[in-house]
Amino acid sequence: MEAAFDGFLRYLRVERNASELTRKSYAEDFASFLDYCQDRLGSVPRPAEADIPCLRGYLTYLHECGYQRTTIARRLACLRSLFRYCCREQMCSSNPAKALRTPRVGRKLPHYLNSREVAALLEAPPANEAAGLRDRAILETLYTAGLRVAELVSLNIGDWDRDANIIRVRGKGKKERIAPIGSYADKALSRWLDVRENGPRSTADDQQALFLNKFGCRLTTRSIGRMIEKYLKQTGLSDKTSPHTLRHSFATHLLDGGADLRSVQELLGHKSLTTTQIYTHVSAARLRDTYEKAHPHAK
């Protein structure tokens, strides 16, 4: 089983272009299944020996341990994908996880900021120092292009077309898309690049990065998170706010402004329209709240 999973990880990396984070999550979920087999069954079955009762017992064990439905659904999805791969490689004749029902998972509405809160966050970095100009450019780019943080830190200087005011984004699965940026982000990026050239030099690869830290190295996702936490304390915004909140706010504000769902899907780089539809619920909730506050017969 362990050898089959090693092959599965190679398949994810080479054929599916899965990110390192995705492969790490699969590995953690598989380790949970291995622990169950060792502790409860006494041994780990071969792919061809794993059957529906074995996997059903594992799901029951997860429920007994008090895991959330989202975690159980993710671990079942991992096993489905693994055994689908094993069937393809003729390690087993059928997928035992396919017959198991995924726990029903309620979708939480994403946390987002209103326009006033976004403005407060974007204006928090000081404009009289290089780090502040960089942070303002980061926040403006996250919000105006709706980027994931991993997409932002992977940006290179050459990815920004100043004439067309667009950036080339490398999303999940190494899929590329074009994202327009607004005039505010354009000005913030220009100011940052003016002072960036005077910063410390690092490796040739890092020097291609659009955003650098004080040592001249490419920023990490963790660095972006710490930076936003600092400005949250200064502005007094909700501690639920994260770098991804700006992406949620981007999508919500577009829909509130009249953008169609398909366009928002393309801008976000979502593979499925279903993923984008969560933002229609956010907009509907805001519309209901406005109605109840404004209409005399709403309540």
Among 75, 134, 136, 247, the active-site one is: 247
Among 74, 170, 270, 286, the active-site one is: 270
**How is residue 37 annotated by DSSP?**
I
Percent of the chain's residues with pLDDT above 70: 93
> pLDDT tens digits for 229-285?
999 999 999 988 999 999 999 999 998 888 888 888 999 988 888 888 888 776 766
> pLDDT tens digits for 56-80?
999 999 999 999 888 999 999 999 9
Residue 148 designated active-site: yes
Identify the helix (H) or strand (E) that includes residue 264.
Answer: helix 261-268
- pLDDT at site 160: 94
Residue 247 designated active-site: yes
Among 26, 36, 112, 279, the active-site one is: 279
Sheet architecture: strand order including 176-180: 160-161, 166-170, 176-180
At residue 296 the predicted structure's pLDDT band, cuts being 50, 70 and 90, is: confident
Which residues neighbour 294 within 8 Å (Cβ) at sequence distance 6 or greater? none
- pLDDT at site 277: 82
Percent of the chain's residues with pLDDT above 90: 62
At residue 199 the predicted structure's pLDDT band, cuts being 50, 70 and 90, is: confident
Residue 270 designated active-site: yes
Q: For the domain made up of 115-292, give the CATH fold.
A: hpI Integrase; Chain A (1.10.443)
Mean pLDDT of 31-57: 93
For the chain, the structural domain boundaries read 2-88, 115-292
Taking the model in full, what pTM does it have?
0.70
243-256 helix and 278-294 helix, angle to the nearest 10 degrees: 60
> pLDDT tens digits for 115-158?
999 999 999 999 999 999 999 999 999 999 999 999 999 999 99
Do the Cβ atoms of 171 and 151 come closer than 8 Å?
Answer: yes
* 3-class secondary structure, 161: strand
Number of alpha carbons in the 13 Å side-chain half-sphere of residue 77: 11
Among 172, 177, 191, 286, the active-site one is: 172
